[in-house]
Amino acid sequence: MFGVVPKSIWQRTNPADENNMCSWSMRCLLMEDGDRLVLFDCGIGDKQDERFLRHYYLHGEDTLDKSLAAKGFHRDDITDVFLTHLHFDHCGGAIERDGNGNFRPAFKNATFWSNEEHWKWAIEPNPRERASFLNENIIPIQESGQLSFIDRGDGDFRKDALFGMDILFVDGHTDSQMVAHIPYKDKTVVFMADLLPSTSHIPLPFVMGYDTRPLLTLTEKKKFLDRAADDSLVLFLEHDANSECCTVRHGERRVELEGTFPLDAI
């Protein structure tokens, strides 16, 4: 999770257990906008076998269905699923098994949103990412007829790309990952996905070993964090086990953490 940064440094904020593993979340976001109910990413799901799951030591009592029910919703109420990218921990919950063991969309009334560039990258995976792009998470979405693409356009930042959101496209972690900028209560909430997995990744050299182009991630992260500090953006953290949201500020030498808080504190 921290690439080339030595454990003696990163364990100060993320202490490892006896298996040399740290705790991380797969935090999704639900947006209600008029008659639309939009889910941002959908976790790892529960259809993978024990052989696959045993590597990740899943723990905790939270589930997507329980979280939806706590807000008075059911998965059939979801109208749109925004997939930041197609790594299994972000899109695995999009597909489930039916009673006969066949794969089908877990959100039967939803449109699934990706982009053409990333979709091609995922279905023709490079050797490095092949283990993160699982056919059973991806192909059934297309076969269902529920897949739609967001046009990246010519640049990396698309204004009003979908449902009034702006979308930043970044390529360091994986090709054409989408980072949604959501207007909310006179602020902008940014669903950070894997551009910034946690507050511990704010220092520029703290780049995940999963990233396909780590030097590009450094550039993309610096550019984003400078803007986040300038514009007081609220950063919604998908993988931080302890903090839902944070803000950053300009420090003496670099952009630094300003504070953490739950989303409902806004």
Whole-structure pTM value: 0.95
Q: Which residue has the higher pLDDT, 67 or 50?
A: 67
Between the alpha carbon of residue 171 and those of residues 62, 116, 123, 211, 259, the distances in Å are 31, 14, 16, 9, 27
Residues of the chain with CATH 3.60.15.10: 1-14+153-266, 25-149
Pairing of strands 111-114, 147-149: parallel
Q: Please state, in angstroms and rounded to a whole number, the distance separating the CA atoms of residues 107 and 147.
A: 12
* Calpha distance 90→59 (Å, rounded): 17
Q: Is 25-149 in CATH node 3.60.15.10?
A: yes
State pLDDT tens for residues 174-210: 999 999 999 999 999 999 999 999 999 999 999 999 9
pLDDT in tens, 32-43: 999 999 999 999
For 203-265, the DSSP string reads STT---TT-S-HHHHHHHHHHHHHHHHHHT-EEE-SS-SS-SEEEEEE-SSSEEEEEEE-GGG
DSSP state of 12: T
Q: What is the pLDDT of residues 59-86, one digit of tens each?
A: 888 999 999 999 999 999 999 999 999 9
Task: Report the distance separating Cα 135 and Cα 125, nearest Å.
Answer: 10
Tell me: pLDDT of 124 over 90. yes
The CATH T-level fold of domain 1-14+153-266 is: Metallo-beta-lactamase; Chain A (3.60.15)
Q: Measure Cα distances from 111 to 84, 107, 138, 224, 248 in Å.
A: 14, 8, 14, 28, 33
* Pair 193, 84: CB distance under 8 Å: yes
